[in-house]
Structure formats: C-alpha cells, structure tokens
Amino acid sequence: MGSYILRRLLLTIPVLLGVATLVFALIHLVPGDPVQAMLGEGATPADVAELRTKLGLDRPLYVQYESFLVGLVHGDLGTSIRTNEPVTQAIAERVPATVELAFASMCVAVLIAIPLGVLAAAWRGTGIDYGATTLALLGISIPNFWLGPLLAIVFSIELGWLPVSGRGGLAHLVLPAITLGAPLAAVLARMTRASVVEELRELYVLAARAKGVSRTRAVLHHAFRNSLIPIVTIFGLQFGAVLTGAVITETIFAWPGVGRLLIQAIDFRDYPLVQGCILLIAFAYVGANLLTDLTYGWLDPRIRYN
C-alpha cells in the first residue's frame, strides 16, 4: 500500500509539470499587454519599459519559464502583477470560499443523486424510473451558466427568498451550491441507477430474496453496497468538473473564491496569478483521483495494491 501511494505521488509530478508548462505557454501567447493594462493607454513608452523591466517581462520566455519552475519547487508562485502581493497569499485567502462551495455542491449532488438512482433502480420500468431518468437528463442538459441566472431571477429577484450574490450565511450558499451540484447530481444518479440495476441481477441478491430478505434490505444492504465502486469513481472524477464549474458559478454569484479570482486575473493578464490558480485546480484534481483509487480498497477488501 505504501509503495503504491509513493508510486502514484511520483507519477503526479510529470502531470503537474506538463500542466504548468502548458499554462505558462498559453498564457503568454494570449493577446494583450499586462503592463499597458496596469498603466493605462496614456502611459509613456519609458514608463511601460521601466515597469516591464521591473516585472521581469522583458526577459526571454525561457528565462521566465525557468524562474517560474524554480519558484514553483520552492513554493513561490511569484507576485501578482495587479495587487503586488504574493500569489500564494492571494490564493490562500480565496481557498476557504471555494472549498465551502465545492463541499456544499457535492453534498447537494449526493443527497439528490443517491436516493434518486436507488429508487429508479428498485422500481425499474415504472413511472418512478422514468421520472428519475428524465430529471437526470434535464440536469445533464442544462449548463450552469444558464441555470445560475435562472435561479437568481426566480428565487432572488422575483420571490426575494435568497440573496443574489456574495458570501455570507447559509442563505448565500444555497443558489451557488444547487447551480454547481445539479449537473453532478444528474451524472451520479444515472450511474447509481445503472450500477444498482446490474447488482440486482446478480445471483447473491436473488438468493437473499429467496431466503426471505426484504426488498428494501436486498436493495440497500446488498445491491447498493456492492455497486459503490463505479459510483465512487464517477464521484471522484466529477470533482474536477466541480472545480472548473466553480469558475463560472463563482462569477455568476460574485462568490469570492479561486474561480472568480482566476477570471479577474485573466481579465488583467496577471500571468503569475492565473498560473497559480490553474495549478491549484490541477493539483486538487489529481489529488481527488488519488483519493478515489485509495478508497477502492476500503470499499472492496478484495482489491489489493501490488
């Protein structure tokens, strides 16, 4: 087990290096001059050249890339061009908000998807199954950049039940969590239904029913428990979708998280801050995949790591 974890951690290094290289290359190819954006259109060429030298943007790209990698190894992601504060500090201030939103949205997804998928599987071919499948299809089809404004219009502007933006109490979290969790709930519900239906056809479930086990116990204790592996896989993989979806959701609801910080950094051509935000998202995605793999052994003792 220990060697497996070590091997997986070592394999993440080239992945993160590739992400860092790709992000660095693409960001510097995007049209726009961050120095010009900072000083404004009325800045003199001398002022522009002086600030570009101060920020190190006048150096060749390979020199900037080398400095970026060296800083990354030492935990230094550079200094924000816009605010002149360390990138790690700027991101650390926004991480709690993003973690809060991601956790809430995944709780929403699980609370909706698991009961919906289990009910659809237990009552396969009935109206409950068709209704659950239709809801899942709607959840997959509706993008969060459309669902978010719709929820804000209905529940904030028209009904006045919930705040439309910002981060405060629980009320501020409801709409962003639903917007971000609905697509994940749809995917998870379909996977739950498919997995439980497959397990219900197995002989051990039929044998349990023949021995007098109730239908509810057969579905929950036997079929659902043994169908958790594919469900956990989808849940872990969709964690990356939650992080990327948070970029749009946080922008819609003015949620002060890493996603909104990333959009602001892109608008200002703040290269170090953009790189830091994307690297954080990539690291979280890789970590979620590793945690998903390790969870397999806990769910199914037959799995061994050699």
Predicted confidence (pLDDT) at residue 269 exceeds the cutoff of 80: no
Paired with 86 in beta bridges are: 79
Q: Is 80 helix (H, G, I), strand (E, B) or coil?
A: coil
Which residues lie closer than 8 Å to 235 by C-beta, 6 or more apart? 106, 110, 188, 292
Helix (H) or strand (E) holding 100: helix 87-122
pLDDT in tens, 29-80: 766 666 766 666 667 777 777 777 776 777 787 887 888 788 888 878 878 8
Measured torsion, CA atoms of residues 211, 215, 218, 219, in degrees rounded to the nearest 10? 160
Average pLDDT, the chain: 78
pLDDT tens-digit readout, 217-259: 777 776 777 777 777 777 777 776 677 767 888 888 888 888 8
* Domains annotated on the chain, with CATH: 16-73 (no CATH), 95-299 (1.10.3720.10)
How do residues 35-44 score in pLDDT, each as one tens digit?
Answer: 766 666 667 7
Please tell me which residue, 113 or 56, carries the higher pLDDT value.
113
134-184 confidence digits (pLDDT tens): 888 877 778 878 888 888 888 888 888 888 877 877 888 888 888 888 888
Position with higher pLDDT, 37 vs 85: 85
Residue 201 above 60 pLDDT?
A: yes
Q: What is the chain's length?
A: 306
Closest CA to 253 of 193, 164, 173, 124: 164
